[in-house]
Structure 1
């Protein structure tokens, strides 16, 4: 099997991760993939006759479509909640440097934790690799879900543990100092004779970095400690097993994509109702109709006739209703991650509020446990006591001061198109209604697109 072989579970979820990548990158990324907006049959047939001349039909169809950035806005709001959390960290003295320098690009443990939570929310998977650099200093590397291409578990001392983990990386081609061209390589972790080995190969399977026991450092490749396990943790949205977890924001991304597809028909229909198509018949062969407009007159001759083909737009209302349904579905999908319904008070209300954030709660807990496991791998690797390592986070989102009754009312107002969903998310993330006048709120409603719930077609 080639080095770029993928796990079957990876293959099943790749399209979902790619959708989430496009959803977070925004409208340009969504429009760049033709699969996100299939061509109507008429455009397909037109391009069969003359692809170059008729390409403009689909280009205009795509340009009029509107992609809503609900996923990006929701993720930002959720991370606003998470950013208020303070991890409780205990480390041996020899690992204190990780507090300020824990990643391969020089950021501390708290920032690493926030990165993990963000990726777990958006993709449901955060591959975390514990390692030691050439100077003997510990650090972590994280990979995107799409670059953790292969893994395998097997019986290791009576337990199911990782025996293979493969990650795709990108290295700059050695041309000149200004180039950004990269080529893929594959970092391989595998178990051999009870010890973890690491190597790097290129697309053709040729060795780029020779295989060696994980933990060798310096030019003399001194072995610090051969590990009897692969120091990789697959942080997920519900647990930290190697299997792929669900993506919390996937339902919202799908609703946003469907709204984008419907909007192409909606805005094309509006365009066509505003631009009736003139027609003529029965003209003499030498008739000149090359000029049109309010300053032009046509000589139709004795037998000529003309008129307009007007688009009636009978389905516009149904399309607009379907778009409104998708917006509501997206808002509700995001609200489920931070459920804010109910009006209890006192201790019952406090307990329910803690449970409101069950999805976000579980992601925070899972990410903290994954990072703690990675720290314990490093402690064992460096010869420290694993019990001296803790990384815990109390997911107390109640401190934001969100009133469930107020949040419910704002959610209903957002679904009805009375207030912008930006106002709703601002309250969820800060506990405060933004200080805006009526005109400011109307401008935000206009910026987010037509009021799909009750707007009429002019």
Structure 2
């Protein structure tokens, strides 16, 4: 029996971790909407409405401080502090503005991919192609967008099944099943409904890459698009599945660990401590007045007329009567637990929560930065390699030759310009001691010059904007060039 919805055991085992980190990064609204999944009920056996209302108030008072989500955005921002390097043939220039066919640039898509890898440690990229009948792709097809290759991005949850097999001396993907959700318009043309479909990528026994699509129905899942063979720019079938796995450790098919999972677990614990702390502050945080030594007459009088607090409402007590205000002693257990978890999150990489206050030497700062960003450096390296491979496949589709490269920044320290060094380098260029190209590369690395500009482009722009003095000027200066009398 064919079951295209089959999921692997290691995929199922990773679901809890993925869901936890995803929810934490989405923030307070998602965490609180999950109810007792992340915040247990104080009295779970009591199913009364009063206990449900009390739990709702308990949950509302809790504060979720999204250290994990803030850390993720901070790390992605550190990568793109310096613009990536993109080198492609002219036929693929469009990827800088639209790599997926939906107006998302390679820069924007790679930002999203890094975020996914930090959250769950796994992602996928599919290079898709238009069908080519025979021969090379015409320029008309390219310009009309009919023959454009694109890269579709798939989160870890969408990659439900995969297999490899050994071909010669290497392991090649032989099966990938992708779960997709597609919006379909309703009959009235205004609404839409979501349909689940499964895209199956195969490498058949003959070593030819094919695709097929199955759609999930109310009764059964049936094939809606029979197997077809995508062709490259020369009209030939593909001998590999152009699907690229990405991971937090490497880009093989295995499921890597989530870099932010440990922080997310601590973040949930911090949220639970916050709920207890806020509950205690609500219950005993207000001062409680008390009286002693009252007889029945005074008691009945005060019950009838009420009690008012303030300097203009004195309490007239009988002889030997006493009063006071009771204030609960601070309960520091929950607060100390919150502070402890905050320190744990800092040690796990939450740079936005707290910065170290100790004065460090430049060497110490560089070492700390290298240690802190070691996981991020590996993620960035994997993303650069994956996109470089995808660009090679895209170039093969449009039958384009030339270098293809996508390289992300791996220097995450704050880049600054030193005026003294800048002046010295400029003087060295002017004195013929340093090539202008090396000086321009220094400015590229610090974001002053667009990294994609070549030396020839920079030179042309400088010559155009600063043509210099016109040596052919034949204008005659009156009075022989002598100054006129005032």
Q: 2:207 aligns with which of 184, 194, 202?
A: 194
Pairwise CA distance, 1:257: 0.6
1:207 aligns with 2:220: no
Secondary structure in 1 matching 2:225: strand
3-state SS of 1:143 partner: strand
Mapping of 1:37-436 within 5 angstroms? 37-40=39-42, 42=43, 44-47=44-47, 50=48, 52-133=49-130, 135-175=146-186, 176-192=188-204, 193-203=206-216, 204-215=220-231, 224-274=235-285, 295=306, 316-335=331-350, 343-345=360-362, 353=369, 356-385=372-401, 388-401=403-416
Q: Deviations over 1:310-353 (max 9, x none)?
A: 99788x3222111111111112212589998993446x875775
Match of 1:23 in 2: 24
Q: Deviations over 1:199-256 (max 9, x none)?
A: 1112232012222113489xxxxx9331111111111122111111122222221111
Q: What is the Cα deviation at residue 95 of structure 1? A: 2.2
Q: Which has the larger radius of gyration?
A: 2
Instruction: Assess, with a 3 A threshold, how the Cα gap between structure 1 residues 313 and 376 changes in structure 2: closer, same or farther.
Output: farther
Deviations 1:62-103 (A, max 9, x none): 112211111121122222212222222222232222222212
Query: Structure 1: which 5+ residue stretches go unaligned?
Result: 218-222, 278-291, 297-309, 403-458
- Structure 1 length normalisation: TM-score? 0.71
Once the 2 structures are TM-superposed, how far is the Cα of residue 53 of structure 1 from its aligned partner? 4.8
Residues 275-322 of structure 1 show CA distances to partners (whole Å, capped at 9, x for unaligned) of 799xxxxxxxxxxxxxx99849xxxxxxxxxxxxx99788x3222111
Per the TM alignment, residue 107 of structure 1 is displaced from its structure 2 partner at its CA by 2.0
**TM-aligned CA distance change 1:351 to 1:225, over 3 Å:** farther
2:313 matched residue in structure 1: none
What is the Cα-based RMSD across aligned positions, in Å? 3.4
3-state SS of 1:206 partner: strand
Secondary structure of 1:388's match?
coil
Query: Normalized against structure 2, the TM-score is what?
Result: 0.67
Q: Answer whether contact 1:227 1:381 (CA < 8 A) is retained.
A: no
Would the alpha carbon gap of residues 31 and 345 (structure 1) be closer, same or farther in structure 2, given more than 3 Å must change? closer
Deviation for aligned residue 1:137: 0.7
CA distance in 2, matches of 1:394, 1:95: 22
Superposed CA deviations along residues 26-64 of structure 1, whole A, max 9, x for unmatched, are 111111223111222x2x2220xx3x4532122122112
* Rounded Cα–Cα distance in structure 2 between residues aligned with 1:377 and 1:313: 68
Aligned-partner Cα distance in 2 for 1:166–1:293: 76
